[in-house]
Amino acid sequence: MDLTRLLPGPLCTRWLCDMGAEVIKIEDPHVGDYAKHYPPLDENGVGVLYQKLNEGKTFVEIDLKEKNGKESLLEMVQDADIVVESFRPGVMEKMGIGFDQLKKRNPQIILCSISGYGQKDEKNSHPGHDINYLGWSGILSTLEENGSIPVPGFQLADIAGGSMTSLSSILAALHQVKKTNEAIHLDVSMTHSLLPFLAIIKNQLEAKAPGIITGESACYSIYKTKDEKFMALGAMEKKFWDQFCNQINKPEWLTRHPGIGKEFSPLKQDIQTLVGSQTREYWTNLFMNADACFTPVLTPIEVCPSKSNLTFFPL
């Protein structure tokens, strides 16, 4: 049973649906899922993302503010395995359909609560979206370059911290319930679930050493091409760096790996000058068969043309 809106919850339950689960999406008859109204819209005025996230689900409208609506939900819970919700912490309890009420109707129910900060965090009632969770997690600051931080082009917190963490937690909980026959409440915080991503960066900062993956290294960076596109260089290992240098006929750069630190800053500029002298197509063709980790940066439209069918879970 899917009581969620927008992206994290619906994507999680879409994955479950693609895996073979029967998913019933519960929607407010007055407002419904906000994503339904988010552009781009189809010819009927319905959000395209909303449709993609909810394909294969069964829709049931229930007004959870009404007594009859709550009772209808609790009756449905008796035959359910999982309930996924994304209200602010405490809202389910206030409506009379919290974990205690659910497990009275179904002693083996799995309740997965997705929220920004977690059920017990001091910020649990604060509003937020992906960019806020990234900010609190410390992840967003790692994108800083030249005194500014770009807005990420995709929802890392929503998907990695919310959808994927919920999916893996639910799958594990299904096994646990089979062993114990006891209900489980999964508390998924999108902010806290991002913390494992900080492991390598945190160690680097504590050591006060420049890092390879933070854009400070010439061998691991993004370079603009002549046609205003980009190439990604990921030559972290010396063998890949050697291949890169040999392919561009720069043997004098072989000893300058990994190119970290102020003394190597001219190297990064030299690479940019060279990459900027040719188009992305030129570099892509030149390195197509080279073992060098130098690849094009494609746009979403290039990867998934408008008429292609994007699969959420490739089974």
Residues identified as active-site:
158
Q: Which token pair is 228?
A: 């205003």
- With helix as H, strand as E and coil as C, how does the chain read? CECCCCCHHHHHHHHHHHCCCCCEEEECCCCCCHHHHCCCECCCCCEHHHHHHCCCCEEEECCCCCHHHHHHHHHHHCCCCEEEECCCCCHHHHCCCCHHHHHHHCCCCEEEEEECCCCCCCCCCCCCCHHHHHHHHCCHHHHCECCECCCCCCCHHHHHHHHHHHHHHHHHHHHHHHHHCCCEEEEEECCHHHHHHHHHHHHHHHCCCCCHHHHHECCEEEEECCCCCEEEEECCCHHHHHHHHHHCCCHHHHHHCCCECHHHHHHHHHHHHHHCCCCHHHHHHHCCCCCCCEEECCCHHHHCCCCCCCCCCCC
Question: Which pLDDT score is estimated for 313?
Answer: 52
- pLDDT, one tens digit per residue, over 279-308 is 999 999 999 999 999 999 999 889 877 655
Which pLDDT score, from 0 to 100, does residue 219 have? 92
Q: What is the pLDDT of residue 207?
A: 61
User: Sign (positive/negative) of CA torsion 13, 15, 16, 22?
Assistant: positive
Q: Are 26 and 3 in contact (CB under 8 A)?
A: yes
R_g over Cα of the chain: 24
Look at domain 212-303 and name its CATH class: alpha beta
Q: How many CA atoms lie within 13 A of 292 on its CB side?
A: 24
User: What is the structure's pLDDT at 300?
Assistant: 85
Q: What kind of fold does domain 8-197 have according to CATH? A: Rossmann fold (3.40.50)
List residues bridging with 104 in a β-sheet.
none
- CA 26/CA 86 separation, integer angstroms: 12
- Farthest-apart Cα atoms in the chain, separation: 77
Residues of the chain with pLDDT under 70: 200, 203-205, 207-215, 260-265, 306-315
Ordered by start, the domain boundaries in the chain are 8-197, 212-303
Torsion on CA atoms 26, 6, 38, 125, rounded to nearest 10: 110
